[in-house]
Amino acid sequence: MNNAFGADCVLKGAIFVILAMATAPISMAQAQSSETIGTGTFSIRMEADKAAYRLGEPIKVRLAIHNNSNRTYRLSSLAPWGMFQLEVLDGHGDPLPTKGLEVGYRMSPSDLRRYPPGTTHSLTFAEPADNSTVGEWAPIDYWGYRVTEPGSYTLIAIPNNHLAVTLDTGGYFFSLSNQNQSNVVRIKVSK
């Protein structure tokens, strides 16, 4: 490949990204300078598919969001690993290392799911392997975690900073506070 051609493509790509950002709809600009919704507006519920695992067995979690307020909101409709960070702590409370996201996810500003007052939605996603099978139970591997030792583990989901939330009527964009974390899930892994 010709280096000048490659450099030209990179430069054009960078210019396209800059132009796309400069001409993005005002709603995207608002989302980046949004206010944060305090704790209590939404509840994040996480559960493991079981309480005890054998070493090497996939550990899967399901996440659901509940609107506790009297207002209708729309939230980003992404795969769980795109909406939430996952923390996995060992029996001493020390975080396990993560390799980062193992799989990608599609993201579009128009992918917003409606949450009327009092409703709960489990997060669903297209399985990365075939991109068509819809699932609710995501392996913690998708967040880059590998449990390699037997023991007790604690899992907590924390909203990502870029999680978009808007009123159903449009207008304001918010983000969920990272203090809106999920319940704590405890599991055991044995040999």
pLDDT for the residue numbered 32:
38
Q: Is 122 helix (H, G, I), strand (E, B) or coil?
A: strand
Give me the half-sphere count of Cα atoms (radius 13 Å) on the Cβ side of residue 116. 0
pLDDT for the residue numbered 137:
94
pLDDT for the residue numbered 25:
35
* pLDDT reading at 64 higher than 90: yes
* pLDDT reading at 108 higher than 80: no
CATH 2.60.40.2360 for domain 36-190, yes or no, is yes
Domain boundaries, the chain: 1-33, 36-190
Q: What is the pLDDT of residues 111-139, one digit of tens each?
A: 778 899 999 999 888 877 777 778 899 99
Q: Give which of 124, 137, 112 is closest to 50, Cα–Cα.
A: 137
